[in-house]
Structure 1
């Protein structure tokens, strides 16, 4: 480490070299940094080529050779200072602004680079190698910077210490670079034609996981390709897989010839590649971040200049007071120098103050941008926006407006805009913009103008499909290429101007249309003398700018009536949404669901002629126990519309003969289990039983039907518990109520329904849900224990097992046996076994309970 104490240092740690290189996620963006440096140096051409070299990692050297201004030893020394740049200026059109592109770009491509440059009879080398730091285990960044005189090839080292430093630098370069002698080093300078230029050589390339270099230089001899991009993936545009295609659109106004492996790149002006281009001027006050930074910087510089001018003026006045009228000559000379210095600093302070005020006033001025849109009829699948900054491509194929929706609306439209530094500032890697908020505002604005352009060209009126078919897009697949039929190729060529750049003066010339130029490959050395246009067939002729028609954004103006109508429509729509939200209620338990259903259930129609006792006996229909609660409630609320089926069912029930049992031959009267009028009206399958006395709670509807049928009066029998008959009143016959689509499986006694409200207060729908769950389990042939265990898991019932059992026995007159059956408690002399379909299978007087084996 001591032997390198006299060498130049970058004042950074070695780890920063790798960290700085990771800013380039897009590998072609790292290569473009070196092309940008050549353009900023005023180069007219740059050669990007590879040299096979098996000794280095990757197997080749990547070289960038330009004919720019080059660098002298002092400028070369500033290269190793990260963040220092002499290109920063408000009105500068240079791309580099951060002093970081060479280091970050080259370190992203490979581990080491060596730079050869010539300027003003001097030639210098800048050697930055991570391999050198790793082998020598050096933490600081050491950069050898040897220089020579161009005429004598002697090192520029006057003192002995400088000579010793030169020898150390040459030893490092010959040891860790591909050039092992001083002679080979000087041979690289000979590759730079002319008196100035720069050659950058990158080696020890970055590799993929499979050991291959990231850049593929063998597949295409005149191109550099991405090695990790799928060739069959149509979603990847050619600019992201081919460096030749990327450099063709890298600059909005190409003024530099680019060669890749000796083949010239055919650069493109996007405006000349579009069908029906239109330009829209956009002005906005939203882009203030960059302007505010510049204004603050100018204000600070003006303050510093003012302080320097005051200090110089104070020194001049003090010296004038000390020097008398008869002062020596040297004092008078010093006084005049001090006064001249003070005057110069005062002028500089006034200029900077004026610049600061101008920038402050410019904050309120709107920034104007030019949006250009056109149809890409050559490749319609390649659409989107190209965003340039100071003529350099930053973002490409950005979808805006309707293009983000993925439909045919605005598809195939290509647009571009050149944004100056004063409006938006790019990031260090020149692949995005620093202010994301203002950049999103720019994209939204381009989306609005894109909609206007789509309306202006009138493709919708013609038909989008028909428009593309006219240019050879006959396939329904949007990503398919156009037809190569000669008539379609001719039609596309007639609609696009043919522009070529002169190889000598670098001016763009537009050639007149000719059928012979279709698919014609022009020579790389094409110049103005080959132009068939006699007015533009010499380099001295001025370049003709492309005439792009200007469009205007037409904002929709609505009358007062239209605005009021739209307001009323919005109010009506909001009112409907609010009304829907008011009917929505959040429930957290089963009990709240039952309460909500009861509150929304419609009340049955009341007749004024109906008896009071009949009206009191009307209750809500019993839920079907064979259906889950939501379906059961829907069946209760859903009336049947098939009236003919109801009438047929009623007539069949009227003609059905009464069933007699073998155990009670003396009993010939048919009766039904006590039920509500609503259940009778729906004509569900009744549960039949034998009784020696009529039911004391018969309804008016049942009595009216018996009178109509002229049924003979039953024999008198002493009821077990006589009750007074309620008074009835005559009423006209009501039409039968609609029946549910499916009959109920189990009917519950009327007194149970009368007490339903009190039962719900105690346990909600717990008993009915219990029966329903038991019926499902019994149908699946599961045991009583599994039913009881399953019931205990029903936490939403909020009642214990014993409490539910008591409710079943006391309220519903049902008893659960140990064998898994349900018994219905009846008077001592009556017992009926009920099946699952609601029909009585047998009648007996031998017990005091009714067994329902299937519930």
Structure 2
């Protein structure tokens, strides 16, 4: 009831008497004693009303106990801040009720905890200690959900009091809030939708992080692991690299939300948008654990949908250690011991990891090793099975029996002009990782077997290097023919950004409508500079699987189409007579050193199949040193294979035709001979005369 309404309840007789006496005093100049009595009566009544309202305004909150639960069902009590609750009894009955309440808690202290909610705080009233007086009781609390509170003196003063009390009880309270992010847990599912169209895009995000960490080795595999929570074996995807690892601040940044983009484009880094790990991990599975180590620290982070189920705020446990001599100890400068215990218990309860398994995985770092390990489980499902399927392959087998991770649907990605149904890159992780980098240097293992990288620009036949300028920025396109893509009826341009594949088999120019003529034609280009506007913005989608619609991209498409059409008109053979099974043998064959990761050109005529599984620079046919620079193909000219026929058709066309016929007839006989292709371009072949039938012309004249 408002103050005005309460004043209206004062006796009308008293108010009228006071008014009449006041008028008489002004007329006669006398202040009657009765007037003074009535006036002070009204004043006292008014003060009583105001005092009651003030008492109600500053009255402590009334806690409504919502439920009693067992302590064993609440696994996070040890990590919560603590304050003390004192009763504000208004009468003897309430004081008696308080004693009965505490007696009940003390008798059931092993099983009972009272839960009360006020505004955005959730209080856990624990039983008092034995022998303690019932003047106060310890209370643990946490922020359940922050809402815009009503503007009142009571709300502000209570929040400040709780903060001060928590600080005095358990030290700095800010460290306890680092587990929480002001975001709904369903946002984790939203993050995974960034790669909803192609799950290998999520794997690529984790590969990018490994390359940015200067890793030289990366292992990707899916293995079965026992889950105590599910009481069965479940598949778990692991991505392990030997990069420089992450500090506590770096891993907090990686799992946090809402980072601004950098002002400048770093040419040495692929990651830019700050969401790669989160979008990738949440697309692959519902839960992910990160174990990372630097030379001086080790951290564990847990991003989980299961942990945050039915919660109002997103919780991300992080545990960090620092190196002290030969040991890793809890880093108390960034967290409390209580928070560490709480976070480790959350990881144990909601993941297949316990302290022994975490210790086993940490042992993979060896003595002073560095790197990052990412484990993802509760993998994305496809119907009644998993979206991914995996094959461990055969140890010691051929390249056709190596392990791989495949997309179960085997669906081909949609591209303009796409006709072929054989695109292993779209559903085979091994095939995708073979060409994911423009200049591959990192060793990548899939299901335990090494991925043999394919530097596309060095693996083409009839290689042509085209240079151009688009929007005052230089671009360089490498065009050629690839035997593997010709067999699979594929063609198109591979577009790289920061050395990472963004678009594959992009058809341009006549490739879109004339696929038969373009089979096997492959282009390779890096557009890092072109896709940077110079003001810190890049024209690349945040999922790094495509480019934005912009002027630079439109001009690039036009330029690529013109260069591709020119290549088709000039260098694609119209007549092809095949000798052996290699129609488009690469101009040069290359091998990568397993130590320095440099590419070495093989000598002409050397059979690359004779190379060992692990090859180094000192071996034949290179017989050099790792310090020697790489060899490069000259720019701006078409390079012809050393095994290609050098016959000039304009000098002796009859000799050319005889040679072609002879080669065509001997193809089936000489299966172990030269495997190069013999080709004729009919735009330079002289016209042949039509053969006449019947006897010679001189015979007809004699008749």
**What interval of TM-score do these two structures reach, taking the shorter chain for normalisation?**
0.5 to 0.7
- Matched with 1:748 is none
**1:44-443 pair list within 5 angstroms:** 44-55=216-227, 59-84=234-259, 89-134=264-309, 137-150=310-323, 151-157=326-332, 162-180=336-354, 182-193=355-366, 194-209=368-383, 211-218=384-391, 220=393, 222-229=403-410, 235-285=421-471, 366-380=472-486, 381-420=489-528, 421-422=531-532, 425-436=539-550, 438-443=552-557
Q: 1:13 aligns with which of 174, 184, 188?
A: 184
Evaluate the alpha carbon distance shift between residue 74 and residue 230 of structure 1 in structure 2; reply closer, same or farther with a 3 A threshold: closer
Evaluate the alpha carbon distance shift between residue 411 and residue 436 of structure 1 in structure 2; reply closer, same or farther with a 3 A threshold: farther
The answer to whether the Cα contact below 8 Å between 1:58 and 1:212 also exists between their aligned partners in 2 is no
- Matched with 1:526 is 615
**1:798-809 pair list within 5 angstroms:** none
Deviation at 1:236, TM superposition (A): 4.2
Q: Deviations over 1:445-464 (max 9, x none)?
A: 2001111222332x3xx52x
The answer to whether the Cα contact below 8 Å between 1:389 and 1:418 also exists between their aligned partners in 2 is yes
Three-state SS of the structure 1 residue aligned to 2:524 is strand
Deviation at 1:407, TM superposition (A): 4.6
Q: Distance in 2 between matches of 1:119 and 1:86?
A: 25
Three-state SS of the structure 2 residue aligned to 1:539 is coil
**1:456-471 pair list within 5 angstroms:** 456-457=570-571, 459=572, 462-463=573-574, 466-467=575-576, 469-470=577-578
Q: Distance in 2 between matches of 1:228 and 1:58?
A: 23
Evaluate the alpha carbon distance shift between residue 395 and residue 276 of structure 1 in structure 2; reply closer, same or farther with a 3 A threshold: same
The answer to whether the Cα contact below 8 Å between 1:72 and 1:118 also exists between their aligned partners in 2 is yes
The answer to whether the Cα contact below 8 Å between 2:293 and 2:372 also exists between their aligned partners in 1 is yes
Three-state SS of the structure 2 residue aligned to 1:131 is coil
Evaluate the alpha carbon distance shift between residue 34 and residue 85 of structure 1 in structure 2; reply closer, same or farther with a 3 A threshold: farther
Determine whether 1:545 maps to 2:659.
no
Deviation at 1:158, TM superposition (A): 5.8
**1:642-653 pair list within 5 angstroms:** none
Evaluate the alpha carbon distance shift between residue 60 and residue 407 of structure 1 in structure 2; reply closer, same or farther with a 3 A threshold: closer
Deviation at 1:440, TM superposition (A): 3.3
Deviation at 1:545, TM superposition (A): 1.9
- Matched with 1:514 is 605
Q: Distance in 1 between matches of 2:336 and 2:570?
A: 70
Deviation at 1:88, TM superposition (A): 6.1
Evaluate the alpha carbon distance shift between residue 40 and residue 277 of structure 1 in structure 2; reply closer, same or farther with a 3 A threshold: same
Evaluate the alpha carbon distance shift between residue 526 and residue 11 of structure 1 in structure 2; reply closer, same or farther with a 3 A threshold: farther
- Matched with 1:611 is none
Deviation at 1:444, TM superposition (A): 1.9
Deviation at 1:417, TM superposition (A): 1.1
Q: Distance in 2 between matches of 1:51 and 1:488?
A: 39
Deviation at 1:183, TM superposition (A): 2.9
Deviation at 1:133, TM superposition (A): 0.6
The answer to whether the Cα contact below 8 Å between 1:248 and 1:265 also exists between their aligned partners in 2 is yes
Q: Distance in 2 between matches of 1:141 and 1:27?
A: 24
- Matched with 2:88 is none
Structure 2 segments unaligned to the other structure (5+ residues):
1-121, 123-140, 144-175, 394-401, 413-418, 639-703
The answer to whether the Cα contact below 8 Å between 1:146 and 1:166 also exists between their aligned partners in 2 is yes
Three-state SS of the structure 2 residue aligned to 1:13 is coil
TM-score (norm 1): 0.49
Three-state SS of the structure 1 residue aligned to 2:496 is strand
Evaluate the alpha carbon distance shift between residue 115 and residue 183 of structure 1 in structure 2; reply closer, same or farther with a 3 A threshold: same
The answer to whether the Cα contact below 8 Å between 1:58 and 1:206 also exists between their aligned partners in 2 is no
Evaluate the alpha carbon distance shift between residue 122 and residue 545 of structure 1 in structure 2; reply closer, same or farther with a 3 A threshold: same
Deviation at 1:94, TM superposition (A): 1.0
Deviation at 1:54, TM superposition (A): 4.8
TM-score (norm 2): 0.59
Q: Deviations over 1:197-242 (max 9, x none)?
A: 1000011101111x111111147561101111169x9514110111
- Matched with 2:208 is 36
Q: Distance in 1 between matches of 2:589 and 2:276?
A: 35
Q: Distance in 2 between matches of 1:269 and 1:157?
A: 47
Moved more, 539-548 or 505-514: 539-548
Evaluate the alpha carbon distance shift between residue 257 and residue 132 of structure 1 in structure 2; reply closer, same or farther with a 3 A threshold: same
The answer to whether the Cα contact below 8 Å between 2:238 and 2:373 also exists between their aligned partners in 1 is yes
- Structure in which a larger fraction of residues adopt helix: 1
Q: Distance in 2 between matches of 1:90 and 1:218?
A: 39
Deviation at 1:267, TM superposition (A): 0.4
Deviation at 1:163, TM superposition (A): 1.1
Q: 2:592 aligns with which of 484, 496, 501?
A: 501
Q: Distance in 2 between matches of 1:87 and 1:247?
A: 28
Three-state SS of the structure 1 residue aligned to 2:378 is strand
Evaluate the alpha carbon distance shift between residue 82 and residue 521 of structure 1 in structure 2; reply closer, same or farther with a 3 A threshold: farther
Q: Deviations over 1:236-261 (max 9, x none)?
A: 41101110010010010011111112
Structure 1 segments unaligned to the other structure (5+ residues):
286-365, 472-486, 552-855
- Matched with 1:488 is 581
Q: Pick the structure with greater CA Rg.
A: 1
The answer to whether the Cα contact below 8 Å between 1:376 and 1:382 also exists between their aligned partners in 2 is no
Three-state SS of the structure 2 residue aligned to 1:34 is helix
Deviation at 1:103, TM superposition (A): 0.3
Evaluate the alpha carbon distance shift between residue 522 and residue 83 of structure 1 in structure 2; reply closer, same or farther with a 3 A threshold: farther
Three-state SS of the structure 2 residue aligned to 1:268 is coil
Evaluate the alpha carbon distance shift between residue 7 and residue 168 of structure 1 in structure 2; reply closer, same or farther with a 3 A threshold: farther
The answer to whether the Cα contact below 8 Å between 1:371 and 1:416 also exists between their aligned partners in 2 is yes
The answer to whether the Cα contact below 8 Å between 2:182 and 2:313 also exists between their aligned partners in 1 is yes
- Matched with 2:567 is 453
Q: Distance in 1 between matches of 2:553 and 2:635?
A: 25
Three-state SS of the structure 2 residue aligned to 1:6 is helix
Deviation at 1:90, TM superposition (A): 3.0
Deviation at 1:3, TM superposition (A): 5.1
Deviation at 1:497, TM superposition (A): 1.5
Q: Deviations over 1:438-497 (max 9, x none)?
A: 42332122001111222332x3xx52xx23x436xxxxxxxxxxxxxxx334x654x532
Q: Which has the higher contact order (CA 8 A, sep 6+)?
A: 2
Q: Deviations over 1:730-778 (max 9, x none)?
A: xxxxxxxxxxxxxxxxxxxxxxxxxxxxxxxxxxxxxxxxxxxxxxxxx
The answer to whether the Cα contact below 8 Å between 2:470 and 2:552 also exists between their aligned partners in 1 is no
